[in-house]
Structure 1
Amino acid sequence: MTVFCQEAHPERYDLGGAEVVRPDVGGLLPVFVLDRYEGYDVKLVQDCTRAELDDWVAANAATLRDRLPVDLVFCNHVLLGGAVGAAAGAPYAIKAHGSELEYSMRGRPELEAWGRQVLDGAESVFVGSAHIRAVLEEVCGHVGRVHEVPPGVDVDDWRPRPRAEALAALVEEARLDPPNPGNASERLPDEGNADRLASFLTGDQAIVVYFGKLLLNKGVHLLLEVLGDVEARAVIVGFGDYRAQLEQLADPDRVLFTGPLEHRHLVQLLPLADACVVPSIFPEAFGMVAAEAAATGCPPLVARHSGLAEIADGLEAEYPPELRHLTSFAKGDVGDLRDKLLALLALSGSEREAIRAAARRAAVERWSWTGVAERLLAASRFN
C-alpha cells in the first residue's frame, strides 16, 4: 500500500509499513477548517479559485499516475480526494466525511455539482455513519453503491489498564514530550505535563476527560458549566482557538488543560477516567473519541445527535437495561448533561465494572480495526 498525503512529518505516525508519497502541490493547501500548517498557504476550499483547485488536483493526480497500475485508489473526502481519484484514471473509491460536505460543499452549487460528478465515477462510496449517508444525499443528490462502515479503533492499544500502571506510563510518556517553553506551540503538549498530570490524577476524586479540538462547536463550555455542580476533576485535552475562553470559564483547581496529546498518552489517560464526555453542539460524522474511550473501558457520555447517536445506540445494545440511559444526553442541554454525569459518577462498584465491561465489549464488537477491515473488504470489488 502507498499513502499519498501532505503530512510534513509522516515518520511520526505508524502506517504499518506503507510507503508515503508527498506530491508537490506548489505550497497551496485547501482545507475545510482554517488552521496553521508549516510551509503551506492555507485556504478554505470554497475560497480557492477553480483554477487553483484544478491545479492542485492535477498535481496530485500526476504523481499518482506515476505509480499506476494499481488495483484501487481509496480517496479521502469527496472533494478534493475524489477529484484526484477521478483525474488519475484508475479505479477509485471515495470515503465521504462531514467536514467537506458541511463546511465547504453545502450550499455552494459549483462544489456540489463537482462532488456529484466524481461520486458518479467511483467504484464505491463509503460513509462512517447513517448520518453522513443522509448528509451526502442532501448535498450531492442520490448516490449509489454507498456502504456504511464506521472508523476503526485499535482495541489492542486502546484497552483497559490497571490504574497504577496507566498513571505511571502516562507520566513517563509525558516526560518524553519535546520542549515547549511557554506553551509557544499549540500543536505540542503543554510544558511540564508530566508533573502536572502526576499531581492532578493522584487521589480518589472522580476524573472526567474531554479530548478533541477546543472549538466553540465542540461544546466544551457545557462540560465546564456542569462541573460546578459535580464532584469531579476534568482533564481537557486538545488545542484550538477557543482555549483561552475555556480557561477563563474553568476552575484551575479542578480543571487541567494539557494541550494536544498523542495516542501514546491517551491510551494511558482514558483508563484512569470515570467518564469521557463528548458534548458537541455541531453535527459529527461519527464519535471516534467516544469509541476509543469505550475501548479502554471508560464510559462515554455523548450528546445524542448525528453520528454520536449511533455510538450511543451501540453502547446501549451492550449496557445493562437499567443503565442504558447513561450513554447520552440531549444536545446542548446542560441540565441533562449534569443529571447524567452525576448518575454515572454515583454508580456502585459493581455497576461501574458492568458498564466498563459493556463499553469495552461494544468497541471490540462494533468498531475494532479487524471488524472494520472485514466490512471494507466485503464491500469492495475484490470480494
Structure 2
Amino acid sequence: MRIAVIHGYLLSGTGSNIYVANLASSLANRGHEVFVFCQEPEPHRFGFVNDCFDFDVDNKRFFRIFSSTGPDGGRVRLFRPRIGQLLPTYVLDDYVGFKTREFHRLSQEKIAQYVNRTATAVKTVHSVFDFDVALAQHLIASPAVARRLSEEYGVPYHITIHGSALNYSAKQSTELTPLVIYGLNKAASIVVSSDFLGRQLNDYLVDIGHQEIATHVIYPGVEESIFKIGGHPHELIAELRHSLESRKTLGKSLGSKEALRVIVSTENRQLLAEELNSPPTYERRAPDSDLINVIDNINWETEQVVTFAGKYIVGKGLHALVLAAPNVICRSPNVRFLAIGFSDVREHFEALGAALDAGKGELVIEIVEELEKGLELQVGREFILDLMQKGTFEKYLQRAAEADLSKRFIFTGPLDHFELAKVFAVSDLFVAPSIFPEAFGMVAVEALATGIYPIVTEAFGMAEIAKNIRDRVGDFVPQHSKLIPDKNFIPVLSDYILRCLDSPDLKDMRFKTAAHKIAVELFNWDRVSVEYLKLFTRFQQPGRIGGLSI
C-alpha cells in the first residue's frame, strides 16, 4: 500500500513529531511505501528514512536530496514542500529556517497560502506515485490538504487528531472553524489517541453547532528497543555522556543560567523583563552545554532523581513542579529534579526557580502571575494564596532558599529518545503534572517502559494511563490523594512525590518488570500500524462525516 502521511513539522522533539516518525517506520517495516510530507531539516539522522526530496519554488517538481538502502518491501520517502518563510504552528515554537506564528493569530490569506502550497506538493508527488490512501495529522491544515487530494484524485483520507491543534488553535478562534469543518467533512475515519480526546473533539463540534462524529481510539506506541529496564547506572550514564559528547551543537551555557540568577537576586525588573522577553541566543533544541558536568555531579546510586520531560510550558504543569520542589527537598534532601525539554519561555520557569532560591517572595508572585495569566485554573496562585492565608508563605520561602534549587532543580534542555531513555532508566520517578488537557501523554508510558513509576495528573487523556497502571500494578503503588487540577494541586503533588520516593515497592524488580510489560503490551507501534491498516482497508472510499457542513 502507498500511504501519504501529511504532517508538516519535524520527526522529533514533540509528541506528534515522534508519533509520525514511529508510525511511518512501523508501516514500512510491514512492507508498505510511506510518503511523509514534513519540514524535517536533518532527515539523514533517521535510519528509517530511505529517500529525501525537496521541491522547486512552485512545488510542481521535486528532486532527490539523498537515498539509502532499506529493508525489502517497505520504504519511507520524505518530502519537504516549499512553503516560504512562514510555518504556521499550534503553539509558538522555534523552527530552524522558518518564522513561526500560531494559526489563530494568522490571517486567512496566510493560512490559505500555506495550505495551497502544501496541497500542490502532495498532488505533484501523487501524480508520480499514485497514493492508495492519505493520513492527515492534526485537526487544522493537513486535513484540508488531504481533502484537496481526495476531491481531485479520489484518494480516501483519514485524520489523526492530536490535542494541540484542537486546544491551542481551533478553540481559540472561530475564524478557523470553516477550515476545521472542511477538513473533517470528507474524511473516511477520524483517529484519536484516547477516549478523552474523542470526547473533547465532539464537545468542540457541538459547541460550534455541529453534530458529534464517530472516532476510533488508537493508543500511541512505545519504542520497546529504546525504552527498557536499564542496567548498571555507571554504564547507562557512560552511554548518555558519550551521546552528548558526540553532538555537534549544544544549547544554553552555564554562564547564561548564572546571569539570569544574578538578575533575579538583584530584583532588577527592567533587566529581568528584557531577559524574559528577548529571543534566546542559544540553540533551544539542543541539550545545555554544561549537561555533561551536571550528570557527572549526580550520585546516581545514592541520590533520588525525579524527572520531568516535556515542553517548558504552563500547560505541562512545570511551574507547579518548581513550586512543589522546596517542600519535597525539605523532607528528602537527597532529591534532585531534572526538567528535560525546551520552549520559547524557558527563562520564565528558570526565573521562578531562581526567585525561590533567593527567597524573593514578591518576584515569585509576579512570575507566577505572568505564567498563569489568562488561565481559568491558576494552581500556582491558589497555592501561594493558601500559604498567605495560613501565614506560612515566609516559612515556605525560607524553606525554598534552603533547598538550593540552583543545584537541586536542573533544567537540561531537550534530549533525543536514546538519551531520554538512559535518564529514565537511572531515575527514581517520573512526573507529568499537566494542568491543561492532554490528549494522552506518551512520555509517561515511555517512562513506565523503563521500569519507573510515572506520576500523572489523573484527568484528561492521562487518566487512561493512570487507570491501566492502577488496574494492573495498583498493589505496588502507595496510597495517595488523587492528583487532579484543583486548588490543592501543588500540595497533593508534593505529598505524592514523597510517598513514591519513600516506597520500597516501586524500587522492587517485580514492579519494574510488570511496569515494562504494561507499556509494551498495551502501547506498541506494531499494534498501532495494524490498527491503521485495518481502517485503511475498511474505509477505501472518500467518506462524509455525518452532520458536518460548511
TM-score bucket of the superposed structures, by smaller chain: over 0.9
Code of the residue aligned with 2:156 in structure 1: it is P
Residue of structure 1 equivalent to 2:295: 197
* Distance across 2 between alignment mates of 1:370 and 1:209: 28
Q: Calculate percent identity across the aligned residue pairs.
A: 29
What code does the residue aligned with 2:410 have?
L
- In the other structure, the counterpart of 1:67 is 125
**Which residue identity lines up with residue 466 of structure 2 in the other structure?**
A
Residue 175 (structure 2) pairs with residue 175 (structure 1): no
Cα contact 1:62–1:88 (8 A) shared by 2:
no
Contact persistence 2:195–2:461 (CA under 8 A): yes
The residue number in structure 1 matching 2:513 is: 357
Shift of 1:346: 1.0
Cα distance in 2 for partners of 1:302, 1:165 equals: 29
Change beyond 3 A, Cα 1:109–1:131 = same
Residue in 2 aligned with 1:284? 438
Structure 1 residues 234 and 263, CA, compared in 2 at 3 Å: closer, same or farther?
Answer: same
Residue 209 of structure 1 aligns to a residue whose secondary structure is strand
The residue that corresponds to 1:165 in the other structure is 235
Once the two structures are superposed, residues 53-86 of structure 1 have per-residue CA deviations (whole angstroms, 9 ceiling, x without a partner) of 2222121111111222211111011211100100
Residue 42 of structure 1, aligned match among 88, 94, 100: 100
Q: RCO higher in 1 or 2 (8 Å CA, sep ≥ 6)?
A: 2
Q: What residue is the counterpart of 1:297 in the other structure?
A: 451
For residues 126 and 189 of structure 1, the distance between their equivalents in structure 2, rounded to whole angstroms, comes to 33
Equivalent in the alignment of 1:252: 406
CA contact (8 A) 2:94 2:344 kept: no
| Aligned ranges 1:201-350 → 2 under 5 Å | 201-230=299-328, 231=332, 232-250=335-353, 251-321=405-475, 323=477, 325=479, 329-331=483-485, 333-348=489-504
| Structure 2 counterpart of 1:58 | 116
What is the rounded CA distance, in whole Å, between the counterparts of 1:16 and 1:297 in structure 2? 30
Residues 300/350 of structure 1: CA separation in 2 closer, same or farther (3 Å cut): closer
Deviation per CA, 1:18-45: give whole Å up to 9, x if none. 1110011122211111122222232221
Does 1:85 pair with 2:154? no
Contact kept in structure 2, 1:189 and 1:260, CA below 8 Å: yes
Q: Is the contact made by 2:227 and 2:446 (CA closer than 8 Å) also made in structure 1?
A: yes
Matched with 2:374 is none
Q: CA RMSD in A?
A: 2.2
Alpha-carbon separation, structure 2, partners of 1:221 and 1:200: 23
Within 2, Cα distance between the matches of 1:99 and 1:50? Answer: 20
State the shift of 1:350 in Å.
7.3
Matching of residue 113 in structure 1 with residue 178 in structure 2 = yes
Q: Distance in 2 between matches of 1:48 and 1:150?
A: 32
Residue 12 of structure 1 pairs with residue 12 of structure 2: no
Larger radius of gyration: 2
1:53/1:136 Cα in 2 relative to 1: closer, same or farther (>3 Å)? same
Structure 2: gaps of 5 or more residues: 1-33, 51-75, 254-281, 354-404, 540-550
- Asked if 2 retains the 8 angstrom alpha-carbon contact of 1:316 and 1:327, the reply is no
Q: Post-superposition shift, 1:351?
A: 5.8
Query: Which amino acid in structure 1 is aligned with residue 291 of structure 2?
Result: N
Change in 2 beyond 3 A, CA 1:169/1:327: farther
Work out the CA distance in 2 between the residues paired with 1:237 and 1:347: 24
2-structure distance, mates of 1:14, 1:235: 29
| 1:374 shift after superposition | 2.4
The answer to whether the 8 Å contact 2:104/2:172 transfers is no
| 2: CA distance, partners of 1:311 / 1:181 | 32
Match of 1:104 in 2: 169
TM-score between the two structures when normalised by the length of structure 1: 0.93
Structure-1 separation of matches of 2:408 and 2:174: 48
Q: By how many angstroms is 1:204 displaced?
A: 0.3
Structure 1 match to 2:198: 133
SS in 1 for 2:348: helix
Shift of 1:9: 2.3
